[in-house]
Structures are given as structure tokens and as C-alpha cells.
């Protein structure tokens, strides 16, 4: 038998052996890849602990939101802490959140916001129309002691913000602004109570 024919015969025998091994059963002991059955006792959940979540960058200028410059990672954190007057629904339409209603006039240059009752900051102080006005003024550079870095330009079309009673805020704009609710959602998080002057008084609204 020539060397080449002998080599082909050995190769064929090895191929048949490998095929047989692949088609054979794993035996009563199971395959080596098995990790065993899942535990039947999962234990009792306990409150507490911590979750460490990695972000791609730090946020500068702290968490005084009108004066912050939030990258995407900072926005992620802020939206997990602070709340908005409106929020998008499943159809990406803006619907009230901390506001109970947001209604424009016929020409979209005056908006009336009714603030939801029973909402408190975590220190127990109430969310009122005056708090909303102060925050909006801080964002647009109209509140003493706050110097916004970005939002003053985004909200430049707002002319006045007035708290007409304890639960009503009226926003007038320089030109008609049908997209004002979207601007409030994307740029304004209610972040402090009762005024945005003191950096140490950042609070999170929550339902009472």
C-alpha cells in the first residue's frame, strides 16, 4: 500500500470515529457541561444594600440644575432624582406630571399651569405655584443669585412667569410657542424648595 493511500485510510477512520462520538449519548452521568439543577430555595429578599452604576463621565458645576452643564450621563442621574411638570406618554405627547393641567390660549402665547395638589418635597414642604415660578425664573436668569449657563437661551422666548394663586402659574411668551410643554420637559426639572437661591436646599418632589 502506498503512503498516500495509507494516509487517506487513517484520515477516514478518524472521521468515522469523531462522527460516532458526536452522535453518541452522554451516558447516565450526563455531559461534563452540565451545571446542575437550579436551587429550589431562593431566600427572602432583604431591603438595603447598594447598586453601583457606571457612567461614562462626571458632571461638572454640581447639581444646582440651572447652573449645571449636564452631559448624557448627568441627565440620567438628574432624571432619576428630580421631577418635571410634564412628561411624554407612549405616543410621545406631553402630558401633565407635577402639573395637573397645562393649557394654552388660542394664540399659544399664554399658558396656564395648574399645579398638582398634595405633592411635597422630601423635607415636607409643599409644591406650590410660587415654587414653580421661582424655579422657572432661575432657569431663565430672572432669579437673584442664580446664573444659568445654558437654559437662559433655551427659555429666552418666555416673557413673564406669574403665580396668580397658590396652585396656578401663568407663562406668557414673546411669540406663540406651541412646543412650550416640550421645552419644560427637556430643560426644566423642579429641583429645590421653597426657592432656588440656596445651593444646599436641593430637594426631590414626591407624591404625598
Does the residue 13 lie in any domain? no
Strands 158-165 and 168-173: antiparallel
Q: How many folded domains does the chain comprise?
A: 1
Task: Indicate the pTM of the whole model.
Answer: 0.66
Residue 100: CB partners within 8 Å, gap ≥ 6? Answer: 114, 115, 116, 117
201 contacts 192 by C-beta, under 8 angstroms: yes
Q: Which domain holds residue 155?
A: 65-207
Residue 20's pLDDT band (cuts 50, 70, 90): very low
pLDDT tens per residue, range 76-98: 888 888 889 999 999 999 999 99
Which of the listed ranges 20-24, 94-98, 189-193 does the model predict with the highest average pLDDT? 94-98
**What CATH number does the domain containing 100 carry?**
3.90.76.10
Q: Which of 52-56, 58-62, 114-118, 122-126 shows the lowest per-residue confidence on average (mean pLDDT)?
A: 58-62
pLDDT tens per residue, range 96-110: 999 999 999 999 999
Does the residue 177 lie in any domain? yes
Does the residue 42 lie in any domain? no
Where is 99: in which H helix or E strand? strand 99-104
Strands lying side by side in the sheet with 110-115: 99-104, 110-115, 168-173, 158-165
Does the residue 140 lie in any domain? yes
Amino acid at each position: 500500500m502506498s503512503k498516500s493511500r495509507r494516509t487517506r485510510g487513517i484520515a477516514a477512520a478518524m472521521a468515522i470515529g469523531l462522527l460516532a462520538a458526536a452522535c453518541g449519548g452522554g451516558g447516565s452521568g450526563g455531559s461534563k457541561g452540565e451545571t446542575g439543577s437550579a436551587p429550589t430555595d431562593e431566600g427572602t429578599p432583604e431591603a438595603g444594600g447598594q447598586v453601583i452604576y457606571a457612567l461614562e463621565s462626571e458632571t461638572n458645576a454640581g447639581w444646582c440644575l440651572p447652573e449645571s452643564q449636564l452631559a448624557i450621563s448627568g441627565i440620567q442621574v438628574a432624571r432619576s432624582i428630580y421631577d418635571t411638570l410634564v412628561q411624554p406618554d407612549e405616543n410621545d405627547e406631553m402630558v401633565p406630571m407635577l402639573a395637573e393641567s397645562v393649557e394654552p390660549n388660542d394664540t399659544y402665547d399664554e399658558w396656564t399651569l395648574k399645579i398638582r395638589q398634595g405633592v411635597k418635597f422630601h423635607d415636607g414642604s409643599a409644591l406650590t405655584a410660587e415654587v414653580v415660578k421661582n424655579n422657572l425664573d432661575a432657569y431663565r436668569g430672572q432669579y437673584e443669585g442664580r446664573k444659568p449657563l445654558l437654559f437662559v437661551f433655551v427659555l429666552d422666548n418666555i416673557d413673564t412667569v406669574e403665580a396668580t394663586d397658590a396652585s396656578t402659574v401663568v407663562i406668557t411668551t414673546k411669540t406663540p410657542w406651541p412646543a412650550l410643554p416640550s421645552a419644560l420637559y427637556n430643560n426644566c426639572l423642579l429641583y429645590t424648595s421653597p426657592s432656588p437661591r440656596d445651593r444646599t436646599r436641593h430637594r426631590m418632589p414626591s407624591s404625598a
